[in-house]
Amino acid sequence: MPGGRLLLQTAAVSRIASRNMFTAFKPDTSKPNFLRVGLTFGSTVFLWALLFKQHSTDVAEYKKRNGLE
């Protein structure tokens, strides 16, 4: 049964390669990682700005195509 062996090997590899969800220590919340926080908020602001820009472009195109301007 080569198929069964392949499944057993895949299960063994996935067990070795998977990450344990429990860690030895909890992250210290009193000292936030400001680089990560800044990158997160910065990318969020950037994506929202792109969303608003695309929306205004789409609305202008809609008005132009339907003769509303």
Domain spans of the chain?
Answer: 32-69
**SS3 state at 67:** coil
**The predicted structure's pLDDT at residue 17:** 59
**The predicted structure's pLDDT at residue 56:** 98
The two three-digit tokens of residue 50, written as one number: 């792109």
- DSSP result, 36-62: HHHHHHHHHHHHHHHHHHHHHHHHHHH
Query: Cβ(54)–Cβ(48) under 8 Å?
Result: no
For 49-62, the pLDDT digits (tens) are 999 999 999 999 99
Positions of the chain with pLDDT under 50: 1
